[in-house]
Structure 1
Amino acid sequence: MENSENFQWSKVCDAHNHVHVDRENLSKIGELKTSRICLMGTRFEDWDIVSKVSIDFPDKVVPCFGYHPWFAHSVELLEEKNNSLNPRDHYLSILFEPNSTNKPTTTTNTIINQNNNSSSSNQGNENENENENDLSTFITFLSPPIPFNTWYSKLESLLKLHPQALIGEIGIDKISKLKHPKTKVMTKIQTSMEHQMKLMELQLDLAAKYNRAVSLHCVQSTGQIVQLLDRKVLNNYKNKNNQNFLPPRICLHSFGGSVDTIKALTSNQPKKKKKLPTQIYFSFSIVINERYNRLPELIKAVPEDRLLIESDFHSPDGMDELMERIIKLISEIKNWSPTFTVEKTRENFLRFIDET
């Protein structure tokens, strides 16, 4: 096996990471052997630091801004802006505990009507010794959600400020649970898939508007992604709308879906009236994917021109090592030399970020 000294680090490109999370070592980003990185913002609170790092290291960092599904609960959507939900109503409409009677309501009007009828009877019934992870108590520890106009206008302004920026990390996650804001302990509370899907679609539409690529998080939800793309293609076909309605490129990062999904999203003859106009890429990491028994069959199924590599790491310390390991793993599975793996994934990376 060719060792790392025989491939050019100047061609190594990391399609997805969060190294800005390590605030004490931001200066080390400029010292990385990895040549180019897509730096993923995940919420309103970290977008400014992503912006700053990309300005500090313009030849290395591609800034990416988006709302990750783990933080989807913390923002209002357009419909809530028009219905003026208070924070408690907002959270009751989108948060739930699996296998409990606490289920999110389907519309903002429903929660408003329910609240008018029952709020007085609910007051005073809370037990002082109630578990802090109970939904009704959990909500009291949450900050008010960020208004739609605040986060959306910020996201749009950052895309204008950084013409090279992508949208990411966005997506949906069927199994993610919220940490308690006070104790930081993982609870059983989840954000409804309906809210996650609406937030993701808003950001996909924004990516289409500005012709930006997207880095997508998808856990146990690839079926919903495929259905969403098919629906948007069909709606565009019915409406005879030739304007951009999907992002030009989407990367399913640290992909953990199925071979069938890969084939469905990369086939030249999809089973639909109109071809998907979006190029779908698949990226793999050591941090997430190495433990998958089916990883070899997934990597083998990805077309040569749609394969990306990533670290998905949260610090500059150790990132290069993870990139070296994923390069070697891909090379072994694809029966490529590390040099070819680096050159091919760099070629794909530059096409993905629109620098070809």
Structure 2
Amino acid sequence: MAVFPPNVLCHIVDAHCHPTDSKIPVDSVERLDIKICAMSTHRGDQSLVRDLALKNPAKVIPCFGYHPWFSHQISLHPGTSKTDHYRGLFLGDGSQENAENTAIFDELLRLLPEPMDLDDVILELRQNFQLFSSSTALLGEVGLDKAFRVAFDYYASPRRLTPFTIPIDHQISILERQIDLAVELKRNVSLHSVKCPQATVDLLNNLKKRHGPQWDSIRVDLHSCSMNPQVVVDLQKKHSNMFMSLSTTINGRSNNLNALIAECSPDRLLVESDYNHIDHCTDKCIEIVKLVAQVKQWPIEEEWIDGTLPEDQWGAIRRLEANWKSFIAAESK
């Protein structure tokens, strides 16, 4: 599908992907025509993303953070035992305890790692960010998710799911600390939000209130956004730092993809692959670029014209590149 010439493709930025989730062939990054934002999600891939970016600084933007799917592995209370930590999350005050849930919990507990202290997570993130400038490392993937159920083995195929979800208050506590660090260090954010639009809106409004003018020193990307288009419109009106990226990988499953493209502010729209194999990131980005161009009625560049062009002569890729530059612009910070 990669039919665009290299001098056009090199202007595309994949705002969100997971290349370290798969084995990366030796020459894949060398052959990559686009630039990618490589997400980390849990304790095992922070160093993988860091090393990939250090070896390929021209093509890989590292993103460090802990995904809500792995937030149960983080403790808010130092010194809490493994059993007490997970019991508190999954069985709560005891109202959810019954013979079946207790048996499932006991089986799951044996497979779960010792929880990490949130302070240690924040320290690790800080150290990784210090290796990269503010425009070349993001906070991500982080966020909130009310739909996710904890699996016995996340990497098994098929996954065997438990009935347990991760309390949203726990997720919020972990997310707020990570975003507080992002504001302090002026790092942009790739934000996951699934089945919790109101919790996400409330969180963003609270962060804006708490951080004041400093909130506008970072940009937040609602990645593979699945919210109602009107919610996005309202968020972008209230938060001048709110962007949205879309993918065919995730948003292609939804009936509101075209509406999201149509309603999103044209200067705060990004594209992503949200793919876990680096060899397919380019094709997935081209898919979503073509759809964005169709819905927004933007032409697509067949060749790249160097230099400054009047905005009314911009094609879809030049517009999206300008949006990306605005997203990471140092002068806005």
Please report the TM-score for the alignment, with normalisation by the length of structure 2: 0.86
Tell me which amino acid in the other structure corresponds to 1:326. I
- Structure 1 position 311, deviation (Å): 0.2
| Change beyond 3 A, Cα 1:96–1:131 | closer
Whether the 8 Å contact between 1:310 and 1:323 is mirrored in structure 2 is yes
Residue 224 of structure 2 is aligned to residue 230 of structure 1: no
Superposed, 1:15-94 pairs within 5 Å as 15-25=15-25, 27-34=27-34, 36-77=35-76, 80-81=77-78, 84-94=79-89
Cross-structure match for 2:228: 258
SS at match of 1:255: coil
In 2, Cα distance between equivalents of 1:133 and 1:321: 45
Residue-by-residue CA offset, 1:101-120 (whole Å, 9 max, x unaligned): 427xxxxxxxxxxxxxxxxx
Residue-by-residue CA offset, 1:44-102 (whole Å, 9 max, x unaligned): 2101111111111111111100000010011122xx02xx21011111122259xx942
Cross-structure match for 1:118: none
| Change beyond 3 A, Cα 1:165–1:5 | closer
SS at match of 2:153: coil
In 2, Cα distance between equivalents of 1:18 and 1:324: 17
In 2, Cα distance between equivalents of 1:64 and 1:153: 15
Cross-structure match for 1:296: 258
Whether the 8 Å contact between 1:9 and 1:33 is mirrored in structure 2 is yes
Residue-by-residue CA offset, 1:187-233 (whole Å, 9 max, x unaligned): 22211111111111011100000011000000011211211222233
Whether the 8 Å contact between 1:209 and 1:245 is mirrored in structure 2 is no
In 1, Cα distance between equivalents of 2:103 and 2:165: 12
Cross-structure match for 1:219: 194
Tell me which amino acid in the other structure corresponds to 2:325. L
Percentage of identical aligned residues: 28
Residue-by-residue CA offset, 1:222-279 (whole Å, 9 max, x unaligned): 211211222233445xxxx66x357610000001101221111111xx4xxxxx4x51
- Structure 1 position 292, deviation (Å): 1.4
Tell me which amino acid in the other structure corresponds to 2:177. L
Cross-structure match for 1:325: 287
In 2, Cα distance between equivalents of 1:323 and 1:65: 22
| Change beyond 3 A, Cα 1:12–1:96 | farther
Residue 165 of structure 2 is aligned to residue 190 of structure 1: yes
Q: Which has the larger radius of gyration?
A: 1
Superposed, 1:84-233 pairs within 5 Å as 84-95=79-90, 101-102=95-96, 134-163=104-133, 164-181=136-153, 184-233=159-208
In 2, Cα distance between equivalents of 1:66 and 1:52: 15
In 2, Cα distance between equivalents of 1:156 and 1:246: 20
Residue 274 of structure 2 is aligned to residue 312 of structure 1: yes
Whether the 8 Å contact between 1:14 and 1:311 is mirrored in structure 2 is yes
Tell me which amino acid in the other structure corresponds to 1:353. I
| Greater Cα offset, 20-29 or 247-256 | 20-29
Residue-by-residue CA offset, 1:147-188 (whole Å, 9 max, x unaligned): 233322111100111122110000000101111039642222
Specify every segment of 5 or more residues in structure 2 that has no aligned partner in the other structure, as ranges.
302-314
| Change beyond 3 A, Cα 1:133–1:71 | farther
Cross-structure match for 1:353: 328
In 2, Cα distance between equivalents of 1:73 and 1:87: 11
| Change beyond 3 A, Cα 1:189–1:171 | same
| Change beyond 3 A, Cα 1:143–1:266 | same
Specify every segment of 5 or more residues in structure 1 that has no aligned partner in the other structure, as ranges.
104-125, 271-275
Whether the 8 Å contact between 1:42 and 1:170 is mirrored in structure 2 is yes
| Change beyond 3 A, Cα 1:138–1:6 | closer
Cross-structure match for 1:119: none
- Structure 1 position 133, deviation (Å): 7.0
| Change beyond 3 A, Cα 1:344–1:156 | same
SS at match of 2:62: strand
SS at match of 2:176: helix
| Change beyond 3 A, Cα 1:6–1:67 | closer
Whether the 8 Å contact between 2:14 and 2:281 is mirrored in structure 1 is no
| Greater Cα offset, 248-257 or 87-96 | 87-96
